[in-house]
Chain A
Amino acid sequence: MFYRETGQFKTSYGADQQIFPIRQDRIGVGLVLAVAFLVVPALAGEYWFNAILTPFLIFALAALGLNILTGYAGQLSLGSAAFMAVGAYAAYNFQLRVEGIPILVSFICAGLTAAGVGILFGLPSLRIKGFYLAVATLAAQFFIVWCLTKFPWLSNNSSSGVISTPTVKILGYVFDGARDKYLLVLAIVSVMALMAKNMVRSKTGRSWMAVRDMDVAAEVIGIPLLRTKLLAFAVSSFYCGVAGALYAFCYLGSVEPDGFSLDLSFHILFMIIIGGVGSILGSFLGAAFILLLPILLDVLLPELSSLLHLQLQGSTVSHIQTMVFGALIMFFLVVEPHGLARLWQIAKEKLRLWPFPH
């Protein structure tokens, strides 16, 4: 009843090919964007911007990048954090060494640098498949972080390898406050998410999916394997690279190579698996889940224990948090192995008929 596409006729190819062909989707996306751009900045406080919304958007972007590679092109990657690191350090160096470069240009250059590195580490994907391919990206993970530690030039000869980013300034406007940074990140992420949505339904996206489902079959029907896979690596790394640059410039403000550890890569992988492999929406849902759940537990558990009059010692609460986090991941996977995006899909199907049974 609420999500019915019948009656929506297309009279031109243009109308048929738009990103969201269904009216409800268009309204929905428009509403979400309006809320994100207009309502949220008016309501949210500094804590929400700095600690939740901005990192959520940045991680969602990184997850989106990984989802393109793993979810759409079927190439498992455990090196997303390293590509983020490339982006962060590249953006820093472009700002530092190119006189007067606009910050957005340096973000794009950072993405392109990451894409270049991604292609390099994607080369083995033609020969290696599945979990074995993870090794290529693991090599990237450890090698890149090592390089950033070992070549002081990359961190402007800082003795500790830590870089502190300059202030973000676009056309003379300084993005200083938490709200400004949020809006900047939001704008970049929305544009890139729409681009991704568009890309995955284009010829490129379809060849990625063909390769994912069976690369030999894809090759037989004339999809150039090497080019398709490398393109996936390039686009994915570009997204991760931009996310890394935003992570350094708009979120942490100072980063060290060790911050981009395997742990972070895994966290991004969790996001897409929990959110839904092969779904743009899933990247966002997964990022929200993985990011917010520990915070929620951190806030709720002490409250709960004081409600139940349990005298919990210092480390006990922390350990229980870790346990509950793990248990909830398992629970969600048992209930819905295809991720949160699948739940949304089911909800849409229900809404098509609801409240009428037929």
Chain B
Amino acid sequence: MQFFFEVLIGGLLSGIMYSLVALGFVLIFKASGVFNFAQGAMVYLAALSVVGCMEKGAPIWLAVILAFLVMVVFGVLTERIVLRRMVNQSPISLFMATIGLAFFVQGAAPLLWGNQPRGLDIGLVDEPIPYILDTFGIVVSRFDLAAAGIAAALVLVLALFFQYTRVGRALRAVADDHQAAMSIGIPLQHIWVMVWGVAGFVALVAGMLWGARNGVQFALTFAALKALPVLILGGFTSVPGAIVGGLIIGASEKLAEIYLPPLMQGVLEGNFGGIEGWFPYVLALVFLLVRPEGLFGEKHIDRV
């Protein structure tokens, strides 16, 4: 039982890490209907900018600010050069454009900062918390706990931003209906720049936490893969969905990885580990069969 809880808690905390990446997707999809495939590459760019600036001698707070500026500039340029010219195109063309963007960033970021894998020390040591280990015999990582705290704070800030600021309200209006928003005088382009900036900020946070966890390197772009089922489970348009989806995916995939292979081994010969790769997708699939718009997604009504 002790072990079960250890796996469960570890899974929930990993899930938060997935949510962080998923959040970036949600923000952009919500505001512009673009499924931004480049989010993974943005995480990479952000983390690389931080370590790159630190290597040049900047202290970490300055490096973070500089990296944020890089992300803002990136967002502005993306909007100016690509997205503005593609207004009113089909979602799939926009999706493809962001794939092109992802390639571009994957080439440009290492060109700018070098492709050497690097460590990122943000002052959190990833070790078991001794108190919990002694009392309950469960390993809970200090780092993961702190990351969860940061994620919670981030979501809170975003929620307040969307709910109570003028820009936030405009964002929600744009998300509901582009044309209606434009007709009441909301400047669509500014809003998009803003959203890409915010998504860049989320990518920065995700990039720093993932980078501190696994090292800053190209593989950070793979973090996006972990975010896809979270996104689908939680709904593309819901910030709380990304968090809850992350928790569900994280916990269930870890439990499945621990408990399912021995069961399968009982039935069939062989070693069936590594089901983490597909389990979240099948779970999301089963879930969608019951609720096709995701956990918190908006219900879509078709009219003929």
Contact = CB atoms under 8 A, between A and B. Distances in A.
Interface in A281-310: none
B107 A326 contact: yes
Contacts of B270: 150-152
B275 A146 contact: yes
Interface string A56-78: 00000000000000000000100
Contacts of A136: 285, 288
B96 interface: yes
A67 B8 CA distance: 42
A141 B232 CA distance: 16
B86 A333 contact: yes
A315 B285 CA distance: 41
A348 interface: no
B103 A143 contact: no
A333 B302 contact: no
A51 interface: no
B110 interface: yes
B302 A132 contact: no
A163 to B, nearest CB: 17
Contact of A266 (B99, B101, B110, B275): B99
Given A151-B270, A216-B304, A330-B101, A124 B289 contact: yes
Interface string A251-276: 00000000000100010001001100
Interface string B221-242: 0000100110010001000000
B115 interface: yes
Contact of B107 (A141, A321, A334): A321
Interface in A324-353: 324-330, 333-334, 337-338
Contact of B99 (A139, A220, A323, A329): A329
Contacts of B111: 316, 319-320, 323
Interface string A146-172: 100111100000000000000000000
A131 B35 contact: yes
A330 B100 contact: yes
Nearest to B232: A135
A165 to B, nearest CB: 24
Contacts of B289: 124, 127-128
A124 B285 contact: yes
Task: Assign chain B's interface to a size class.
Answer: 35 or more
A143 B281 contact: yes
B271 interface: yes
A272 to B, nearest CB: 9
Contact of A329 (B81, B103, B110, B288): B103
A90 interface: no
A145 B288 CA distance: 22
Interface string A96-135: 0000000000000000000000000000100111011011
Contact of A131 (B89, B236, B282): B236
Nearest to B271: A150
A270 B104 contact: no
A334 B103 contact: no
Q: From B99, B101, B275, B300, name the one whose CB has the most chain A CB atoms within 10 angstroms.
A: B99
Interface-central residue, B85, B99, B111, B285, by most chain A CB under 10 Å: B285
A326 B104 contact: yes
A146 B278 contact: yes
A48 interface: no
A77 B173 CA distance: 31
A223 interface: no
A214 interface: yes
A124 B236 CA distance: 18
Interface string A211-224: 00011110010000
Contacts of A326: 99-107
Nearest to A135: B232
A129 B289 CA distance: 11
A17 interface: no
Given A135-B284, A139-B278, A273 B105 contact: no
Interface in A189-214: 214
Contacts of A323: 103-104, 107-108, 111
Given A326-B106, A327-B100, 17 more contacts: A127-B288, A132-B288, A132-B292, A135-B284, A139-B282, A145-B277, A150-B272, A273-B93, A273-B95, A319-B111, A321-B107, A322-B103, A323-B111, A326-B101, A326-B103, A329-B96, A333-B100
8 contacts: A127-B289, A135-B229, A142-B278, A325-B100, A325-B107, A326-B106, A326-B107, A334-B85
Interface of B: 35, 81-82, 85-86, 89-93, 95-97, 99-108, 110-111, 115, 225, 228-229, 232, 236, 270-272, 274-275, 277-278, 281-282, 284-285, 288-289, 292-294, 297, 300, 302-304
